[in-house]
Amino acid sequence: MLLKSLSPKIEKALNGQVEMEAASSQYYLAMASWSEVQGYNGIAQFLYRHSDEERIHMLKLLKFINERGGHGIVPALKQPTVKFKNINAIFEHVLSHEILVSSEINKLVDMCLNEKDYTTHNFIQWYVTEQIEEERLARHILDKLKMIGEDKAGLYIFDRDLSTLQSEDEGSRRR
Tens of pLDDT, residue by residue over 152-170, are 999 999 999 887 765 444 4
Entry pTM: 0.88
Nearest to 35 by CA among 77, 78, 81: 81
Residue 1 has pLDDT above 60, yes or no: no
Question: Which CATH number do you get for residue 126?
Answer: 1.20.1260.10
172 located within any domain:
no
Mean pLDDT of 44-56: 96
- Overall average pLDDT of the 67-85 stretch: 93
Percent of the chain clearing pLDDT 70 (strictly above): 92
CA distances from 38 to 6, 31, 151 (A): 46, 11, 17
Q: What is the domain extent for residue 115?
A: 8-166
**pLDDT computed for residue 169 by the predictor:** 44
**Predicted local distance difference test score (pLDDT) of residue 4:** 72
Phi, psi of 73 (to 5 degrees): -105, 130
User: Is 1 domain-assigned?
Assistant: no
**Total structural domains in the chain?**
1
What average pLDDT does this structure show over 79-94?
94
Residue 3 forms part of a structural domain = no
Question: Is 42 part of a structural domain of the chain?
Answer: yes
Gap between the Cα atoms of 163 and 160, Å rounded: 7
Q: Would you say residue 159 lies in a domain? A: yes
- 31 lies in some domain: yes
pLDDT at 99 (0 to 100): 97
Q: 132 lies in a domain?
A: yes
